[in-house]
Amino acid sequence: MLFYRIISYVFHPLLFSFIGTFLYLVLTPIHMAKKQEYLILSIVFISTYILPVFLLMFLKKIKMIESYHLKQVEERKFPILFFILLSILLGKMLLNIKIANVLAYSFFAIAIALSAAYLFLFLRIKTSLHTLGIGGVLGFILILSLHYQMNFNWILALLFIISGLIAVSRLKLEAHTPKEVYLGFLLGVIAQFISFQFYQSI
């Protein structure tokens, strides 16, 4: 069980936005000053990791949540709404600098996927945010491969392996049902394509 816990912590949902942003800046042929890249990475890390960590600490202190694992359906509602708003704001910020539009729409995709996950909470379905996150990264890299006509097969293969490890870990730890694990992954991937299609149509 220790192995599965390590996998769940190493690939925590809060880290996937930073991972996706880092891969975008490293893999794509964009022309951006290193200073701008570091600034974007810093903003994304602070916004999508540091701020949510402090939010969870605060929610636990005021007893809105029992644990950081958000095991109960009701505990997930406010943090997910917070992250939806955060993703939209980050997407708008990236659109304003006009050199990372594809990355901006990946954040809008996160908002779409999380909005669907939020709605499923009312059906008592606790979508796996771990698989939603890795599915989003995988879908985003696949989009980058198609958009820039570049071969990212090696990283896509690695992401599929990581996806499998995460899915198995969530099941072994009995954190989710198989349906919740598959649903999270599909939402993550599909939302990226929906957002990118919208980006191409405007």
Give the residue from 130, 129, 110, 109 showing the smallest Cα distance to 120: 129
Whether 86 has a pLDDT exceeding 80, the answer reads yes
Report how far residue 167's alpha carbon sits from residue 116's, in angstroms, rounded to the nearest whole number. Answer: 19
In which band, very low, low, confident or very high, does the pLDDT at 123 lie, cut at 50, 70 and 90?
A: very high
Token pair in block for residue 81: 């709404």
Residues whose CB is less than 8 angstroms from the CB of residue 3 and which lie 6 or more positions away in sequence, other chains included = 169
The confidence band for 69, taking pLDDT boundaries of 50, 70 and 90, is confident
C-alpha separations of 110 from 40, 160, 169, 189, 200 in Å: 17, 19, 22, 10, 17
Per the CB < 8 A criterion, the answer to whether 140 and 109 are in contact is yes
Q: For 149-166, what is each residue's pLDDT tens digit?
A: 999 999 999 999 999 999
Residue corresponding to tokens 């598959």: 182
Q: Average of pLDDT values for 2-31?
A: 93
Q: Is residue 186 helix, strand or coil?
A: helix
pLDDT at 63: 87
Mean pLDDT value across residues 174-188: 97
Averaged pLDDT for residues 60-77: 89
Indicate the pLDDT class of residue 201, thresholds 50, 70 and 90: confident
Whether the per-residue pLDDT at 70 is higher than 90: the answer is no
For residue 1, the model assigns a pLDDT of 85
Give the residue extent of every domain in the chain: 2-197
